[in-house]
Amino acid sequence: MKKPTIELKSTEFTEVIEIERTVTPDEEKRVDHVFVRRRKICKRHPEGFATEEYARFDIEWPEEIKEDIKEEIKVNS
């Protein structure tokens, strides 16, 4: 069962600014390794309290659709 990946978004209380995003594909595991560096700023804090955080997650590749190839073989009699 796949786990949904939920990206952090800005709200009325916090502002999220993405600083860096690195995506590394992994052919063997069929996933993209994603590394995100972002700054979160608290809008309710009088001085705009800011923190920096790092997140790492994997995004699975879509399943390949395999088509059955049927060839007609004609036997010459």
**pLDDT surpasses 60 at 38:** yes
pTM (two decimals)? 0.65
Residue type at position 6: I
Residue 28 DSSP symbol: T
Tokens representing residue 18 in the block: 């993405």
Strand-pairing partners, residue 23, are 34
User: Rounded to an integer, what distance in angstroms lies between the CA atom of residue 36 and that of residue 25?
Assistant: 15
User: Rounded to an integer, what distance in angstroms lies between the CA atom of residue 21 and that of residue 36?
Assistant: 5
Cα dist. 46→13, 41, 57 in Å?
A: 12, 11, 33
**pLDDT surpasses 90 at 4:** no
